[in-house]
Structure 1
Amino acid sequence: MTKKLVIFLHGVGSNGDDLAGLGPHWAPLLPATAFAAPDAPFRFDHGPGFQWFSLDGVTAQNRGERVREARAAFDKTLHGLLSAHQITQPEKVLLVGFSQGSIMALDALASGRWPLAGVVAFSGRLATPDPLMPVRNAPVLLVHGRADPVIPWEETESAALRLKAAGMSVETLFESGVGHTISGSGAQRAVNFIARCFNGSEH
């Protein structure tokens, strides 16, 4: 039976299929691991695709509240996936987010709601309001392109400082010349990180 689960969380205006292709590439390095790539619970405001929360009128000041309001639907999505894969321990689950998906992945861990095996956040930011209250010192990998025109790479630098201040283990990868995307080298760093997270959670 599958013992571990990687859940991909897509960016705003996209869908689960956008990241699902990483699963088959990573599978050989992650034995006994299943992959899930759900659509976010809400339809995108401005076209096809889905969103974890609306960007309409979002500001630095109200983003944290948007994330808080999105938690119930997000948690329902994750609980459904864990049930479908017959996984009862969040410690066997790792979240991989991109952009808005990264915001939700980091919030799941930093808010203390999900004692995960770890989180990988590509091109994201930490929008969780203080105080951060992680209930498990799960490792975090933050990956960001220095040429990102959508979410500045400094957001990841700030996230790393806040997460470390909350006592979390954080690794970062800043990639020169990379925009708002997942690069091949970023993906490789991520799967190696995930393998270490899961090996460390074997008891």
Structure 2
Amino acid sequence: MKARYSDHLVLLFHGVAAFGHDLDPLARVLRRALPGAEVIAPDAPLACVPGPGRQWYDLDAVTLANRPGRIQVARGACDGVIEGLIARHGFADAPERVALVGFSQGATIVFDGFASGRWRAKAVVLLSGRFVRPEPFIPAKETPVLLVHGAADGAVPPEEDGKAERWLVEAGVRVQRHLLPDVGHEISPRAARLAARFLKETLGARTSSSALP
């Protein structure tokens, strides 16, 4: 078993046509709030065609009807990314020390992994996501979820969060939901702070006095 050198592992999932390093501003906020955690933002497994950037599932000519199938096709590659990272960092036997954070398409894929029961975690954060209900729908009731969306999002309707909240609450999951006025399709400073505070409280992580401005 690989040795574990951090208190917690926080995995960040970027949006389409992006790379893991595009989430560096969010990662910095989370590292300040969770000084004992390893915060990692991997690149998605699929290339965008045409590029640049990566994607978690193919968005070319995607529709409401074919999106669920696209997500299902991508599951194997996405599972490989998360399982590999968790194992390499020594958390394969400690899902209670893992948190999953997704933005946009990354939120879509985190929701699918968690809600289908494939991905286990202590906490889930979904930022500006579009959601497809997987079958079976078996999210872990003990894992709280934070939903954050900009009210002025012109790329993904904020109503997507209401849909996900309804499904999760009906399944017995504790959900916090925030709609941010005048925020578009982005991770705003307030969204980053909400994510940091939620993870600090949920993970029970140690923090410094200046961790959450």
TM-score in terms of structure 2 length: 0.89
Structure 1 residue ranges without an equivalent (≥5): none
Q: Among 35, 51, 55, which residue is 1:31 paired with?
A: 35
Q: For residue 186 of structure 1, what is the aligned residue in structure 2? A: 191
| Deviations, residues 129-153 of structure 1 (Å, cap 9, x unaligned) | 3441113421110100111111000
> Equivalent residue of 1:65, what SS?
helix
Larger mean CA deviation between 183-192 and 129-138 belongs to 129-138
Task: Answer yes or no: is the 8 Å Cα contact 2:16–2:105 preserved in 1.
Answer: yes
Q: Among 190, 203, 210, which residue is 1:198 paired with?
A: 203
Tell me whether 1:169 sits opposite 2:174 in the alignment. yes
How many equivalent pairs are there?
A: 200
**Mapped partners of 2:42, 2:133: distance in 1:** 22
What letter corresponds to residue 96 of structure 2 in structure 1?
Answer: E
Q: For residue 118 of structure 2, what is the aligned residue in structure 1? A: 113
Larger mean CA deviation between 146-155 and 22-31 belongs to 22-31
**Mapped partners of 1:7, 1:47: distance in 2:** 24
Task: Answer yes or no: is the 8 Å Cα contact 2:48–2:55 preserved in 1.
Answer: yes
Q: For residue 86 of structure 1, what is the aligned residue in structure 2? A: 90
Shift in Å, 1:123: 0.6
Task: Answer yes or no: is the 8 Å Cα contact 1:123–1:180 preserved in 2.
Answer: yes
Shift in Å, 1:84: 2.1
Structure 2 residue ranges without an equivalent (≥5): 206-213
> Equivalent residue of 1:179, what SS?
coil
TM-score in terms of structure 1 length: 0.93
Task: Answer yes or no: is the 8 Å Cα contact 1:67–1:128 preserved in 2.
Answer: no
RMSD: 1.4
Q: How does 1:94-105 map to 2 (within 5 A)?
A: 94-105=99-110
Q: For residue 157 of structure 2, what is the aligned residue in structure 1? A: 152
Shift in Å, 1:67: 1.1
Tell me whether 1:49 sits opposite 2:57 in the alignment. no
Q: For residue 7 of structure 1, what is the aligned residue in structure 2? A: 11
> Equivalent residue of 2:200, what SS?
helix
Shift in Å, 1:118: 1.2
Task: Answer yes or no: is the 8 Å Cα contact 2:139–2:168 preserved in 1.
Answer: no
| Deviations, residues 51-74 of structure 1 (Å, cap 9, x unaligned) | 001111211122112111111111
What letter corresponds to residue 172 of structure 1 in structure 2?
Answer: R
**Mapped partners of 1:135, 1:142: distance in 2:** 16
Tell me whether 1:40 sits opposite 2:44 in the alignment. yes
Task: Answer yes or no: is the 8 Å Cα contact 1:146–1:179 preserved in 2.
Answer: yes
**Mapped partners of 1:126, 1:118: distance in 2:** 17
Task: Answer yes or no: is the 8 Å Cα contact 1:10–1:101 preserved in 2.
Answer: yes
> Equivalent residue of 1:95, what SS?
strand
Matched residues, percent identical? 42
**Mapped partners of 1:109, 1:174: distance in 2:** 22
Task: Answer yes or no: is the 8 Å Cα contact 2:141–2:174 preserved in 1.
Answer: no
Task: Answer yes or no: is the 8 Å Cα contact 1:8–1:20 preserved in 2.
Answer: no
Q: Among 64, 71, 78, which residue is 2:68 paired with?
A: 64
